[in-house]
């Protein structure tokens, strides 16, 4: 069986071969951690955005959207803390000349300990009947030792990160004898802070005042517009503001395809609540967001909550929704209780009053904020890697016995149906198929395809995740019926052409998953 590493490589090359994701400016050998979306990629990405946008703004009466500019007044980033503190700790290996994030090296070490624990548990589970994993973990001396060690390192890392203690991060790397994965040496530089914001210049004015930053998150565009939105749309607290847009981070180590990019897209929602109620809302939003992931077909076993070990200075609770990517469980979405930090900071630095008068309480206050923030590209990778399936078919019904199929939820699939005349050089068939295509194209993203044998055409549609293939054959010409093939079950049913639109609409509709 292929390893997860091999599967990941296959997903990356599949994404390129079938027009989902290309390396940016590839003819110049690409640009590190920047990617372009191809014809099917853009469709899938747009569908994911629509799913998120509708789930936020259409489903919730009290959430509205905005689309703020990427450039913002430089003081925004001073107020938000990004100029002073949006840093990652980095160090170089002097032999390989490779650059790393100190926290990630230590996290990698912790992961290895966790792997050892899992291996011990797996081994023991095979040895004993009626095996109780929890009991084993709390009594087996070796596992207990591993757990203590993992906990100690996690805690020390969290403290060092919270206190910006670069010296201790370096000591940890030395003490744990962490070596460079490339050179194998422990010949490290000191650890230093690196600011992740990209900067540029406004007009032709020189100096500090004209430095502009490419936004590293979309959230600040929402905070600075809080009063504009609240007043213009007459929103009453609790209410939310949603936004989808580009964000930029000069990541120190950008690996793992579109998981960590330097230019990416975020889907963020800030929910404004009365002070004191934020933790209740925080719990509520955790559940709502998890359901959103389940509804698109991502199973509970691939998603989990991971509480933050070190809270940012402005947060009083923070959790990640992690997804099991081919390279392990990693952050897909963050849910943060951000207190009144951002609005207060903007009020201080701008000198403008940013408060809300609560008619029910008859008082003014600065609202507290719950934020849900998901990377669109990471969601794309989650959907793609979950959908990617290599299959050997037992009952091939005349098709090849192996296939690669993207089992995407029909509501997000780039192409909803393909219309295929059984053979290409029979004009009656192609004309009929084209006629069906013309009727359906106003309702769905469809494809007409008459190249190659029918089996190969099915494979092409499987590879891009098209949930339905409609075949037009000779009988169609007399009985006005077509065969519709289900991508996942391969079941073929004959239905009248007049019922096609309704049949497909029901299957690919987003309404049902939104209602969930």
Chain contacts with ligand ATP (rule: CB under 6 A): 217, 249, 251, 260-261, 264, 266, 331-334, 373-375, 377-378
**Cβ atoms of 358 and 364 closer than 8 Å:** yes
| Dihedral angle sign, alpha carbons of residues 158, 163, 164, 170 | negative
Q: How far is the CB of 395 from ligand ATP (least distance, A)?
A: 40
Q: Which is nearer to ligand ATP, 191 or 261 (CB)?
A: 261
Which are the contacts of 338, defined by CB distance < 8 A and separation ≥ 6?
270, 314, 315, 368, 369, 370, 371
Question: Whose structure tokens read 């998120």?
Answer: 52
Indicate the residue among 120 and 331 with the shorter CB distance to ligand ATP: 331
Residue closer to ligand ATP (CB basis): 168 or 333: 333
* Shortest CB 204 distance to ligand ATP, Å: 31
Tell me how far, at minimum, the Cβ of 115 lies from ligand ATP, in Å: 20
Nearer to ligand ATP by C-beta: 92 or 331? 331
Residue nearest to ligand ATP (CB): 375
With H, G, I as helix, E, B as strand and everything else as coil, classify residue 225.
coil
- Between 325 and 458, whose beta carbon lies closer to ligand ATP? 325
CA distance 212 to 221: 14
The two tokens of residue 5 are 């590493």
Q: How far is the CB of 126 from ligand ATP (least distance, A)?
A: 35
If the CB atoms of residues 14 and 249 are measured against ligand ATP, the closer one turns out to be 249
480 by DSSP, 3-state: which?
coil
Please, which residue, 257 or 356, has the CB nearer to ligand ATP?
257
Q: Which is nearer to ligand ATP, 257 or 272 (CB)?
A: 257
Residue 218 or 447: which CB sits closer to ligand ATP?
218
Distance CA 41, CA 508 (A): 18
Quickly list DSSP for 376-418: HHHHHHHHHHHHEEEEE-SS-TTS-SEEEEE---TTT-S--EE
Cβ-based neighbours of 470, under 8 Å, separated by 6 or more: 417, 418, 419, 420, 436, 482, 483, 484, 485, 500
Comparing CB distances to ligand ATP, the nearer of 146 and 264 is 264
* 381/454 with CB nearer ligand ATP: 381
Q: How far is the CB of 258 from ligand ATP (least distance, A)?
A: 7
Which of 93, 266 has the CB closer to ligand ATP? Answer: 266
Per the structure block, which two tokens stand in for 268? 């963020």
Q: Are 61 and 239 in contact (CB under 8 A)?
A: no
Helix, strand, coil percentages in the chain from 3-state DSSP, rounded to 5: 45, 25, 35
Q: How far is the CB of 202 from ligand ATP (least distance, A)?
A: 25
Kind and range of the H or E element at 241? strand 239-248
Spatial CB neighbours of 227, under 8 Å, sequence gap ≥ 6: 354
Q: What is the smallest separation between the CB atom of 330 and ligand ATP, expressed in angstroms?
A: 7
Min dist. Cβ of residue 325 to ligand ATP (A): 11
Least distance from C-beta 319 to ligand ATP, angstroms?
A: 11
Please state the closest distance from residue 332 (CB atom) to ligand ATP, in A.
6
* Own/partner long-range contacts of 157-160 (Cβ < 8 Å, ≥24 apart): 157/103, 157/106, 157/107, 157/110, 157/309, 157/310, 158/309, 158/310, 159/310
Q: In sequence order, what are the residues at sequence separation of 6 or more whose Cβ sits closer than 8 angstroms to the Cβ of residue 382?
A: 298, 323, 325, 332
In terms of Cβ atoms closer than 10 Å to its own Cβ (0-12, 13-18, 19+), residue 188 is buried
Cα R_g (the chain), whole angstroms: 26
- Per DSSP, 367 falls in state P
Q: Smallest gap, in angstroms, from Cβ of residue 4 to ligand ATP?
A: 19
- The kind and range of the H/E element at 336 are strand 328-339
Least distance in Å: CB of 101 to ligand ATP?
9
How far is residue 506's CA from residue 188's CA, in Å, rounded to a whole number? Answer: 59
């Amino acid at each position: 069986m292929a390893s997860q590493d091999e599967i990941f490589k296959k997903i990356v090359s599949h994404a390129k071969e079938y027009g989902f994701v290309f390396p940016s400016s590839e003819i110049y050998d690409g640009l590190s951690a920047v990617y372009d979306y191809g014809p099917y990629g853009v469709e899938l990405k747009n569908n994911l955005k629509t799913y998120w946008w509708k789930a936020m703004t259409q489903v919730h009466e009290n959430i509205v959207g905005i689309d703020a500019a990427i450039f913002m007044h430089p003081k925004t980033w001073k107020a938000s803390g990004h100029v002073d503190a949006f840093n990652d700790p980095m160090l170089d290996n002097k032999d390989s000349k490779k650059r790393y994030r100190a926290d990630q090296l230590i996290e990698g070490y912790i992961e290895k300990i966790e792997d050892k624990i899992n291996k011990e548990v797996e081994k023991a589970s095979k040895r004993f009947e009626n095996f109780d994993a929890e009991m084993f973990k709390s009594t087996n001396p070796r596992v207990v030792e591993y757990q203590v060690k993992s906990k100690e390192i996690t805690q020390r890392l969290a403290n060092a990160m919270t206190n910006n203690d670069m010296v201790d991060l370096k000591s940890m790397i030395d003490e744990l004898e962490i070596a460079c994965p490339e050179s194998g040496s422990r010949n490290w530089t000191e650890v230093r802070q690196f600011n992740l914001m990209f900067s540029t210049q406004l007009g032709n004015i020189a100096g500090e005042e004209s430095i502009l930053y490419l936004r590293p998150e979309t959230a600040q565009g929402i905070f600075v517009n809080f009063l504009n939105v609240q007043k213009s749309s007459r929103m009453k607290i609790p209410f939310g503001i949603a936004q989808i847009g580009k964000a930029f981070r000069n990541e120190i180590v950008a690996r793992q395809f579109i998981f960590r990019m330097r230019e990416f897209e975020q889907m963020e929602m800030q929910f404004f609540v009365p002070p004191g109620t934020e933790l209740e809302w925080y719990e509520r939003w955790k559940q709502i967001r998890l359901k959103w992931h389940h509804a698109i077909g991502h199973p509970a076993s691939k998603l989990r909550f991971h509480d933050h070990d070190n809270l940012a200075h402005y947060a009083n609770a923070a959790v990640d929704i992690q997804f099991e990517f081919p390279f392990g469980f990693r952050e897909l979405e963050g849910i943060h209780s951000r207190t009144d930090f951002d609005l207060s900071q903007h009020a201080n630095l701008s000198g403008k009053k940013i408060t809300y008068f609560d008619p029910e309480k008859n008082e003014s206050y600065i609202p507290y904020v719950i934020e849900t923030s998901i990377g669109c590209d990471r969601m794309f990778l989650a959907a793609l890697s979950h959908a990617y399936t290599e299959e050997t078919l037992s009952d091939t019904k005349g098709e090849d016995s192996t296939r690669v199929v993207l089992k995407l939820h029909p509501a997000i699939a780039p192409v909803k149906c393909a219309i295929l005349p059984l053979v290409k050089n029979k004009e009656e068939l192609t004309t009929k198929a084209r006629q069906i295509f013309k009727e359906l194209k106003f309702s769905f993203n469809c494809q007409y395809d008459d190249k190659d044998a029918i089996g190969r055409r099915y494979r092409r549609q499987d590879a891009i995740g098209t949930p339905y293939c409609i075949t037009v054959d000779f009988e169609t010409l007399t009985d006005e019926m077509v065969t519709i093939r289900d991508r996942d079950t391969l079941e073929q049913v004959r239905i009248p052409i007049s019922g096609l639109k309704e049949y497909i609409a029901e299957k690919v509709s987003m309404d049902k998953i939104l209602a969930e």
